[in-house]
Amino acid sequence: MKKLINSADTVLEESLDGLAAAHADILLLGADRKFVRRRNLKPGKVALISGGGSGHEPLHAGFVGHGMLDAACPGQVFTSPTPDQMIEAAEAVDTGVGVLFIVKNYEGDVMNFTMAAEMAGRDVESVVTNDDVAVEKSTYTTGRRGVAGTLIVEKIVGAAAEKGMPLAALKALGDDINRRTRSMGVALLPCTVPAAGRPNFTLGDDEMEMGVGIHGEPGRRRVPLGSADAIAAEMLNAILGDLAPSKGSEVLLLINGFGATPLIELYLMANSAKRILDGAGITATRFLTGSYVTSLDMAGASITVSVLDSQSRELWDAPVHTAALRWGI
């Protein structure tokens, strides 16, 4: 294993210290590094909190700031944060009008965020993301996994919260965006968890895992390596078959790298995906390309399609200022 670390035991703590130092204008670390919070809270704004196992950076801490999250709770690598982290984060960022949890659909995350909501002693609602169409159940989940579509929910709901939308309406909006968003991924090479020191699954030189999860969970099947066009076509056939957008729909297209995929390949995938959408009569009017919901050093990518309407398009375009996303400011 070759990694830029000092010790497998201190990877998360040292990384969080570096994040907070590099973005001290927008971020603060909570006590004992239990959460990352927005430096300047907005009075009267519903607080948005997300979190999950580390190893998916910049999700979630990289999306804390103006127009997105107010706090993020990082667990150890691929391990859910604990309820006390969410409770303390809520106490730190709730300005008195409620808290919305945005939770990826993994059993540990859902269980711990649910416990936190019950124990927080404040007004809390939750949105659970489950955008992965690859499999109905997986290693960590009952039901579909929450993957890169979580970023889209956090951005759009975050913009609405910044504009003053109340808690109940924000939950309804988050649930609606989740329903209109689908994803699927493919792995070309596995990732290596620092504490384990070895790849968490194996792939042959001529194999890929179609429908892989962001923790390296098995997908639909292991298949021979194909061309970018063929990979994009299989993923989009699954996405569009499940999402069933009407011809003429306007969508946001997210091409997300898993950590070890260069941008030249991700933009190539964006080109392949756009041509397929065009052929289906679907127009991608908004794009995001890069490594935003990663799996440590896994090579591969996911495709996410989210159907836009006038409200979600306006909220996607709204200003954002976080460590990982910045525009309009």
Q: What pLDDT is stored for residue 9 in this prediction?
A: 95
Q: pLDDT band at 329, cuts 50/70/90?
A: confident
Is the per-residue pLDDT at 275 higher than 90?
A: yes
Mean pLDDT calculated for residue range 249-255: 98
Average pLDDT value over all residues in the chain: 96
Residue 142: pLDDT band (50, 70, 90) is confident
Residue 138 has a pLDDT of 73
Query: Residues 163-178: pLDDT tens digits?
Result: 999 999 999 999 999 9
Q: How distant, in Å, are the alpha carbons of 136, 181, 215, 237 from that of 201?
A: 20, 28, 10, 26
Is the confidence at residue 137, as pLDDT, over 80? no
Q: How much is the average pLDDT of 308-326?
A: 98
Catalytic residue ranges: 56, 215
Average pLDDT over residues 90-99: 98
Q: What percent of the chain has pLDDT over 70?
A: 100
pLDDT at 141 over 90: no
Provide mean pLDDT across the span 316-320: 98
Q: At what angle do helices 83-93 and 107-119 cross, to 10 degrees?
A: 50
Query: Per-residue confidence at 200, pLDDT binned at 50, 70, 90?
Result: confident
Question: For 26-69, how does the pLDDT look when each residue is reduced to its tens digit (9 = 90+)?
Answer: 999 999 999 999 999 999 999 999 999 999 999 999 999 999 99
Give the residue-averaged pLDDT of 115-135.
Answer: 97
pLDDT category at 139 given cuts 50, 70, 90 is confident
Mean pLDDT of 93-115: 97
pTM recorded for the entire structure: 0.97
Read off the pLDDT band of 259 (50, 70, 90): very high
Does the pLDDT at position 136 exceed 90? Answer: no
List Cα–Cα distances, 274 to 123, 175, 212, 251, in angstroms: 42, 26, 22, 11
Q: Is it the case that residue 179 has pLDDT exceeding 80?
A: yes
- Over 80: is that where the pLDDT of 134 sits? yes
